Amino acid sequence: MNEILGMDNDGIWSEDMLWAVAMSDLAVFLLDSQGQMLHSNDAARVLAMRLHPDDVRPDPAQLLDYIPEQGWQIAMRDGRWIGEVPTRQTGLVLEVKAFAGGDRGLCRRFVVMTDISVRSAREGELRRRHDELQSTYDRLASAQEQLLQSEKMASIGQLAAGVAHEINNPIGYVHSNLGTLQEYVGALLALLDGYHTALQSDDPAASRPLLRRLRDRLDVDFIVGDVPKLLEESREGIERVTKIVQDLKEFSHVERDEPMRSSDLRKGLESTLNIVWNDLKYKAKVEKHYDEVPLVECHLSEINQVFMNLLINAGQAIAERGLITLAMGTEGDEVWVSVGDDGVGIPEDVQARIFDPFYTTKPIGHGTGLGLAIAYRIVAKHHGRIDVTSRPGAGSTFRVVLPIAQPALSRPRAK
């Protein structure tokens, strides 16, 4: 120690400092103002031997090569540079702290090195676990998304029979009307033919009784009265089919990656009711109490799925015949929509569980227990809420409350 004090030490390291350095179990290197090593402690020598096991007396100064030029530049500017450096020994990672600073007109530099292999390995392990968790989370999120989508598709499947019936019915009478119209056209053409023949003859007036008889036989008066009715009915039938197909299209539309849009909840509720109508119409009368509501920023097809799940549940809660009450209104900066039924109701101790995934009181094939869980999730994603009031024997009312505008943070920034 003294040798360095007495030697070319630039006079910047006092004896007690050197003593502290010698005692340290961190590898410490003292440098002159040019960056030449003046002194290193035992810990530095041990570290050098670990890094150069083949050298009999490895020079600790070699370790200073691990400090990049840029490191020293930063140390000169900010007083210190800290870096983690992998070494030529696999698995051995060093934390290097290089200090530089002026003191009484002299430049002091020193370096401290710590073996952080264990910490670094632990951090690597943590990072790996974190990545694993993240990827599990991503997979779970995408599975949930798929579940949401498949529940929607399953509901559509369940509804398909009803919808098919709903479409078949108008198609049926449009088809039969077309048959009748075809007969009518045949009769009218026959009559036209009669008129034509009469006009071609030398004495058309003589054909009058014949034409009158033909007209009676073809029942033309009835046809003339019936045709507009048939046409009108057929047009209504086609319009009903078009509407159902449109609603189905809207319903099955996936807008997951699209931004939320200002949407008409009333239209959504009506078109969803249209789709499930076949399941409900034999059981329930529907009463509507709609207030004017503003457009709501949402993924409408997802909100429609919420409405559908609530409507189907309401229908299933009614045993024979009942009433479904739909209502909506505005409260402050929120819009609420409620679906009520006068069906079986939900016991109080069960009410807390109905939003749990897979909770169902229905027989296999009738319930998956996912409808309300998915409704809950969709509504939460829209920063809204869904709750229920119910009395066993009297019925239940589910209320969905949605903010008119989504909170600014959740909205993607305008480009």
Residues within the interface to ligand ADP (CB under 6 A): 309, 313-314, 317, 341, 343-346, 354, 359-362, 367-373, 396
**181: burial class by Cβ within 10 Å (0-12, 13-18, 19+)?**
middle
Six token digits for residue 332:
């402050």
Q: Which does 406 bind (CB under 5 to 8 A by kind): Mg ion, ligand ADP, none?
A: none
Determine, following the binding rule CB under 5 A, whether residue 313 of this chain makes contact with Mg ion. yes
Q: Which does 344 bind (CB under 5 to 8 A by kind): ligand ADP, Mg ion, none?
A: ligand ADP
Q: Which does 369 bind (CB under 5 to 8 A by kind): ligand ADP, Mg ion, none?
A: ligand ADP
Determine, following the binding rule CB under 5 A, whether residue 371 of this chain makes contact with Mg ion. yes
Q: Which is nearer to Mg ion, 31 or 344 (CB)?
A: 344
Residues touching Mg ion: how many (CB under 5 A)? 2
The residue whose Cβ lies closest to Mg ion is 371
Six token digits for residue 246:
């449109």
The label of the residue with tokens 């060093």 reads 94
Find the farthest-apart pair of alpha carbons in the chain and give their distance in angstroms, rounded: 151
Q: Which does 368 bind (CB under 5 to 8 A by kind): ligand ADP, Mg ion, none?
A: ligand ADP
Six token digits for residue 86:
């992998």
Task: State the first-to-last Cα distance of the chain, in angstroms, to the nearest integer.
Answer: 66
CB of 371 to Mg ion, least distance (A): 3
Distance from C-alpha of 234 to C-alpha of 242, rounded to nearest angstrom:
12
Determine the interface stretch with Mg ion among 27-35, 120-128, 237-245, 311-319 (rule: CB under 5 A).
311-319
Q: Which is nearer to ligand ADP, 293 or 306 (CB)?
A: 306
Q: Which is nearer to ligand ADP, 174 or 314 (CB)?
A: 314
Distance from C-alpha of 165 to C-alpha of 173, rounded to nearest angstrom:
13
Q: Which is nearer to ligand ADP, 55 or 356 (CB)?
A: 356
Q: Which is nearer to ligand ADP, 260 or 306 (CB)?
A: 306
**327: burial class by Cβ within 10 Å (0-12, 13-18, 19+)?**
middle
Six token digits for residue 415:
């480009």
Q: Which is nearer to Mg ion, 177 or 313 (CB)?
A: 313
Q: Which does 343 bind (CB under 5 to 8 A by kind): Mg ion, ligand ADP, none?
A: ligand ADP
The long-range contacts involving 276-279, CB below 8 angstroms and separated by at least 24 positions, are 276/159, 276/162, 276/308, 276/311, 276/312, 276/315, 277/162, 277/166, 278/159, 278/162, 278/163, 278/165, 278/166, 279/159, 279/162, 279/312, 279/315
CB of 313 to Mg ion, least distance (A): 4
| DSSP alpha helix (H) spans, 52-85 | 69-78
Distance from C-alpha of 271 to C-alpha of 250, rounded to nearest angstrom:
9
Q: Which does 274 bind (CB under 5 to 8 A by kind): Mg ion, ligand ADP, none?
A: none
CB of 370 to ligand ADP, least distance (A): 6
Q: Which helix (H) or strand (E) holds 309?
A: helix 300-317
Ranges within 166-225 binding Mg ion (CB under 5 A): none
Q: Which is nearer to ligand ADP, 166 or 341 (CB)?
A: 341
Q: Which does 330 bind (CB under 5 to 8 A by kind): Mg ion, ligand ADP, none?
A: none
Q: Which is nearer to Mg ion, 297 or 302 (CB)?
A: 302
Q: Which residues bind Mg ion (CB under 5 A)?
A: 313, 371
